[in-house]
Amino acid sequence: MDSLTTVAVIFSYVLSLLRISVAVDTIIVNQNITDGETITSAGGSFELGFFSPGNSKNRYLGIWYKKASKKPVVWVANRESPITDSSGVLKVTQPGILVLVNGTNGILWNSTSSRSAQDPNAQLLESGNLVMRNGNDRDPENFLWQSFDYPCDTLLPGMKLGRNRVAGLDRYLSSWKSADDPSKGNFTYWIDPSGFPQLLLRNGLAVAFRPGPWNEASSSINSSSKKKKKQVIIISISITGIVLLSLVLTLYVLKKRKKQPKRKAYMEHNSKGGENNEGQEHLELPLFDLDTLLNATNNFSSDNKLGEGGFGPVYKGILQEGQEIAVKMMSKTSRQGLKEFKNEVESIAKLQHRNLVKLLGCCIHGRERLLIYEHMPNKSLDLFIFDQMRRRVLDWPKRFLIINGIAQGLLYLHRDSRLRIIHRDLKAENILLDNEMIPKISDFGITGSFGGNEIETNTTRVARTLGYMSPEYAREGLYSTKSDVFSFGVLVLEIVSGKRNKGFNHPYHDLSLLGHAWTFFMEDRSSEFIDASMGNTCNLSEVLCSINLGLLCVQRFPEDRPSMHSVVLMLGSEGALPQPKEPYFFTDMNMMEGNCSSGTQSTITLLEA
């Protein structure tokens, strides 16, 4: 053997040792587990991967006890949806969801979570528990999801087994005969040499639960006295359980009876279209069931209604754990349909930014389409800047922070998100404010997505919000990132002046708010354009810079408008800004209304992401 071959052999041996010694127990985003690959808990007791039970050709994703000779399975993901080939893939999605997919049937199984994670990962613990967590957070109270809530044929310390799961387990285990004594039929137990507890199932009931090792001799209980004693214990426990269960059910029925009429009427109204949950299986984010949202919003009570937009009404809700949410329900009369719903879900679910509203999940039930957002206690920007009393809450420092926050959110959409997102309906009503008055852009139902090299496209049906649309979008249906820049410029001028562009009236001219701002700017009287309610809180140089910037953003031609990257730089600059050209005033409102019908809602043609 020559020296080169010897080195190669030693190198291969070292690599093999490294592979053996390093046990990977964590799955992160973009790290997929395919059939044939596994992860192992840190101490080597448990393993997760794909397997086939017995002589079956079906493939399942599961966790098994690795140190036992027969490797008994303790958890199975897709027990109801087996894979017939080796195309299974397990992956972690950005919101913090485990998803099992294959090449033919799409999503076969996914975990659930009522919260999103910034740094999601799944870890197989030495206890045998597969947990979804955020970052390195090891606190069990903060786990987004855990397999211990869904046990298989074996109970480990900490697993949760409710009676509602036993029958399903028994049906599933009927084809998994005991490897030690198949003649027992519907009677399954596991011999664990390490001392874990065992669960025995017979006819759908848990009949024994023993700690410690169990061998064949000790499992053969022939003494009639022991059998009678066991029967007495079982009967006593069963009777006690039935009495307690009856009491709990009675209290539950009495408690819910007051709410039942409203809930029943709502469900009957909802079910007229049938149980059509089309599109739900392809959404990679937490799915809420309708009952949870009914409880959270008090059956969508009018007292909980926050407002209503083109998509439909929005209700405040409180989940059982105390988290406040906003539930947006697609109106029965809304012209936005399943396409807009899926567009908003698929767009905003991938977006993570401080100045974008956070989507917590969605619900598809019958004809209902609902989106669940984080709750914004201060509602929307228009309720402040256009209200004579509440506008006084917004001094200039707060307004300048809001302008900067909106600019940062748009910059993320245009440049830094995985897709180039164009909002297309940016307006004061779609800027929400949290309890610290931090702005968050919302309402992504009519966004457009561009590929990396696309600059401009058009739509045959235009988003109908007068006062914020760029000229090329209003007249020709052409939109680009510069369309959002135009809308941002209008917003800046509205925030500075406290007046709406749409419907603006002045006793001495018939110009729009943009024309009014331009006139003051050219006459060097921009200080008269400022909202007087801000009083002496104004930083005059910042305000005048903002007016100048707003006019740059509302230029008639897209190529004359700055990009959002330039806007952010100019907001932080202390130097002089470029001189704007005369903006497009939209003085001929008949022309505008000829291209746009009234209202704020529309159905549009979207590019596929």
In whole angstroms, how large is the CA radius of gyration of the chain? Answer: 31
What's the whole-number mean pLDDT along residues 201-209? 38
How far does CA 566 lie from the centroid of its chain?
A: 31
Q: 428-453 pLDDT, tens per residue?
A: 999 999 999 999 998 765 555 444 44
Who wins on pLDDT, 377 or 284? 377
- Joined tokens for residue 498: 């406290």
Answer whether 0.75 is exceeded by the pTM.
Answer: no
pLDDT at 556 over 60: yes
Among the listed residues 192, 425, 443, 484, the single catalytic one is 425
The Cα–Cα gap between 407 and 536 comes to 25
The C-alpha atoms of residue 456 and residue 301 are separated, in whole angstroms, by: 43
Residue closest to 437 by CA, chosen among 484, 383, 489:
383
Q: Is 425 a catalytic residue?
A: yes
Q: Which of 539, 414, 424, 544 is nearest to 478 (CA)?
A: 424
The torsion angle over the Cα atoms of residues 179, 181, 183 and 187, rounded to 10 degrees, is -80
E-strand spans in 541-608? none
Does pLDDT of 13 surpass 70? no
Are 355 and 439 contacting, i.e. CB atoms less than 8 angstroms apart? yes
> How large is the average pLDDT for residues 549-578?
93
- The rounded percent of the chain whose pLDDT value lies above 70 is 66
pLDDT of 138: 84
- Predicted pLDDT at 41: 92
571-607 pLDDT tens trace? 988 888 999 998 876 544 433 443 333 333 332 323 2
Quote the pLDDT of residue 236. Answer: 79
Mean pLDDT, range 484-499, rounded to an integer: 95
- pLDDT at residue 457 above 60? no
- Residue 396 in 3-state DSSP? helix
pLDDT value, residue 155: 57
Domain boundaries along the sequence of the chain? 20-217, 276-374, 382-595
Average pLDDT (108-112) is 86
pLDDT exceeds 90 at position 570: yes
Could you read off the pLDDT of 399-427 as tens digits, one per residue? 999 999 999 999 998 888 767 788 888 99
Q: Alpha helices of 354-417 — where are they, by DSSP H?
A: 382-385, 396-411
| Mean pLDDT to the nearest integer, 107-112 | 85
Q: Do domains 20-217 and 276-374 have the same CATH topology?
A: no
pLDDT of residue 497 exceeding 90, the answer is: yes
3-state SS class at 194: coil
For domain 382-595, give the fold: Transferase(Phosphotransferase); domain 1 (1.10.510)
CB 283 within 8 A of CB 345: yes
What's the average model confidence in pLDDT over 373-389? Answer: 92
What tokens appear for 561 in the block? 């408008």
What is the reported pLDDT for 399? 96
Confidence category of residue 66, pLDDT binned at 50, 70, 90? confident
Say if CB 589 and CB 501 are below 8 A apart.
no
Which of 21-30, 208-217, 451-460, 556-565 shows the highest mean pLDDT? 556-565
> How does pLDDT run across 180-192, given as a tens digit for each residue?
443 444 434 443 3
Rounded to whole angstroms, the Cα distance separating 491 from 501 reads: 9
H/E stretch holding 143 reads none
Burial of 16 per CB tally in 10 Å (0-12, 13-18, 19+): exposed
pLDDT for residue 219 is more than 90: no
pLDDT band at 335, cuts 50/70/90?
low
Distance CA 157, CA 230 (A): 24
Mean pLDDT of 114-131: 87
Q: Which CATH superfamily is domain 20-217 in?
A: Bulb-type lectin domain (2.90.10.10)
Domain boundaries 276-374, corresponding CATH code: 3.30.200.20
Q: Which of 128, 136, 122 is nearest to 33 (CA)?
A: 122
Question: What is the amino acid identity at position 591?
Answer: M
Each residue of 340-349: pLDDT tens digit?
667 667 766 7
pLDDT attached to residue 584? 72
Residue that wins the pLDDT comparison between 503 and 382 = 382
Would you put residue 312 in left (φ > 0), alpha (ψ -120 to 50) or beta? Answer: left
Q: Tokens standing for 223?
A: 């003494």
pLDDT of residue 605: 28
